[in-house]
Amino acid sequence: MDYALRQTKKTIRQAHQNVASALDGFRPRPSQNYLVAEIAKTLSGDYHRTQRICVIEAGTGTGKSLAYLLGALPVALSSKKKLVISTATVALQEQLINKELPFLKEHSGIDFKFDLVKGRQRYICVQKLMAAVSDDEMQMSMMPTTSSPLSQMEQKCLRELALAYQEKRWQGDRDSWEDTIPDKVWNVIACDKHACQRQLKSHHLCPFHLARQKIAQMDVLVINHALLLADLELGGGTILPEPEETFYVIDEAHHLPHITRDFSSAAATIKGTIEWLEKLLKFSGKMANTVVSQKAIGQNFKLNDAANDAAKYLRAVRDILDQSDFTYNDDDTYRFSHGEVPEALTVKAKDIADATQDALRCLTKMHDALSGDVSDGDVQAFLADPLLVESGQYINRLEQLNKLWFSYARKGDSVPHARWIKRLEYKHHHDHLLCDCPIEVGYYLKDNLWRECAGAVLCSATLSALGTFDHFAHESGLAKEPGVKYIKADSPFDYPNQATLHLPKTQTDPTDKAFSDYLADALPTYLDTSKANLVLFASYWQMNHVVEKLRGKNLNILVQGELSRDALLTRHKANIDLGRGSILFGTQSLSEGLDLPGKYLENLVVTKIPFAVPTSPIEEAQAEFVQSKGGNPFLSITVPDAAKKLVQSCGRLLRKESDSGRITILDRRLVTKRYGKAMLDTLPPYKRQID
């Protein structure tokens, strides 16, 4: 073992001891020690010289965030790499930035700098904010064609934001504003990559650029998955440090495949697009008259030709869609089977992809030329800035448009895509929204992240399904990759003595239409009105049906959707603190990240296995793809997903080693079906009571 590695191990041991002595009532956790060692070994290259990746499933109570900080940070510092921690939720980011990292810095004896990095779209563009407040015509004309002008309330919010920013009471990022900023207001003033450029003097002091300047001095950066993907899409190393100079910790990693899929998708309307292409023609004349640089001569004429061509082909597509005999479903959606688009559309898609590519090239040249003019002092900033803001917005739209039509033009992809059309009705006329999304994104993560990065630690409480990591490895592009280490860290909980899992006999099968009525009758039997209860439903419809039937029975029920999540939990805790007992009703989405320790949750009821019905076009396409390969979508997608969700739901009960309580599941399929038995075996070893 070389000297540097020995020193790193020594640093880790010392830091661990320091942290232990600073924590009140610290009890050594074997699983945490194991994780620290495994993470350090993986990132140091003990297991594989080049592919330094480990996938960790760590149950509640293992202290995984402290484990990955202690395991990864000393290795990153000694090998002069950046440590980037990516999460899926704001709650976990705040916990790391406000609690875990300051604690580690104060007590571990390791000296390091850390910061939260947010996406560009979390900051204002000062230029846009001031233009919006001064009622600039141009600014308002860029509002999406489908939305109405800002209401008086929204305009008042704009003025408050501008005043607070000018008086230095607000830093200009969305998260530090006390109140929520409506999406419509935010979309008008948010920073975007084309308009807000650092080389322009007027943007030097923009909140976004000030935040970015700090990145270079930091050792640890906390980000979210969306920002990680935004950086990868730009080739890596544009927003964040270069992947080959970075160790990534991807916490809440079970979200990564879905967020990657959303990121890789594209959508655009037909008539709405034709409308803004007409506006682009007028705008490009204005832009051409302001640009001084010789480089942009002639670009305006080429841009006009390309935009006119795109609009002409889009009109042809509009006519094809108006005359087509597609059968739309109740949600006004029509999905192309196997992602195969009719020949007539594919031909037009190629034309539109080419025309938008040309338009994009010309507009980008004009945009860059005008930026150069400002830098050279040939055009005054106050004249150029509004034009650069507007051209930036057109460039963004053209990129999205090109991405969509380029995909529709491709035949026989190696990567399967879901493609569908949604009919829209607004302003007395109709439109079509065309959508495209890759079904599998593992290859994208493999090429852009796993094979480029210096090392990665992926962790979550639920990464395996039915006892293996296969499903996650396939989804995230880690299957068949050499050197990837899969680790399960046991929870320190004494499950058999802390909780009982009860499967009572039920009169009605969950697949039966009468099941909702049965639930309303049976539920009160399994509730403890003097304590904290959480009842999880598989659908909103079923939850609301049961609530209606139970409301007259003098039960203190709090229902997801009737109050905001925060208000719901505050009221629930207040009820318990006053000794009243409380009953929370929610769906699977409420249970994600829900932390109700001790007396705040002692009785959990899961009404049925949380199977997702493949209703979205993406899920339908995924099932179709598995079937076309001879697989069974129910067993290979639906069951593993439901198993993970069931583990997550049951995991709400025990949050600390001192917690205890009861879980009741009213779905007999866990004992009558083969897949049910496999799901039951995936759950922690609670004491079982099967009637």
- Residue 223 backbone dihedrals phi, psi, to 5 degrees: -135, 180
Paired tokens of 230? 């935004």
Long-range contacts of residues 228-237, Cβ cutoff 8 Å, at least 24 apart: 228/84, 228/86, 228/449, 229/259, 229/260, 229/263, 230/119, 230/120, 230/263, 232/448, 232/449, 233/263, 236/448, 236/449, 236/452
Instruction: Tell me the H-state helices in 291-341.
Output: 299-323
Mean pLDDT, consecutive 10-residue stretches, the chain (691 aa), reads 75 83 76 89 88 90 87 92 90 86 89 86 80 61 51 84 86 80 82 66 70 84 91 85 94 91 90 91 89 82 94 94 87 89 91 95 92 84 82 89 92 79 80 91 92 94 87 91 89 90 91 90 91 92 90 84 86 92 89 85 94 81 87 88 90 88 94 90 90 86
Query: What's the CA gap between 419 and 428, in Å, rounded?
Result: 27
Query: What's the CA gap between 283 and 271, in Å, rounded?
Result: 19
Query: What's the CA gap between 335 and 620, in Å, rounded?
Result: 9
Question: Any idea how long the chain is?
Answer: 691
Task: Quickly tell me which residue has 């700090």 as its tokens.
Answer: 214
Paired tokens of 375? 């830098």
The H or E element that residue 459 is part of is strand 455-460
- Residue 224 backbone dihedrals phi, psi, to 5 degrees: -115, 165
Query: What's the CA gap between 53 and 486, in Å, rounded?
Result: 9
Query: What's the CA gap between 289 and 271, in Å, rounded?
Result: 28
pLDDT of residue 461: 86
* Under 8 Å between Cβ of 8 and 74: yes
Q: What is the Cα gyration radius of the chain?
A: 28
Query: What's the CA gap between 250 and 192, in Å, rounded?
Result: 26
Q: 352-375 b/e with 16+ CB inside 10 Å = b?
A: bbbbbbbbbebbbbbbbbbbbbbe
Residue 44, judged by CB atoms within 10 A of its CB (0-12, 13-18, 19+), counts as: buried
* Under 8 Å between Cβ of 253 and 463: yes
Query: What's the CA gap between 654 and 406, in Å, rounded?
Result: 49
Instruction: Please state the pTM of the whole predicted model.
Output: 0.82
**For residue 225, what are the CA distances in angstroms to 93, 189, 261, 342, 360?**
11, 23, 12, 35, 28
Query: What's the CA gap between 426 and 434, in Å, rounded?
Result: 16
Paired tokens of 673? 């079906």
Paired tokens of 502? 């009860």
- Residue 517 backbone dihedrals phi, psi, to 5 degrees: -65, -40
Query: What's the CA gap between 314 and 176, in Å, rounded?
Result: 42
Closest-CA residue to 610 (of 562, 663, 679): 679
Query: What's the CA gap between 409 and 650, in Å, rounded?
Result: 46
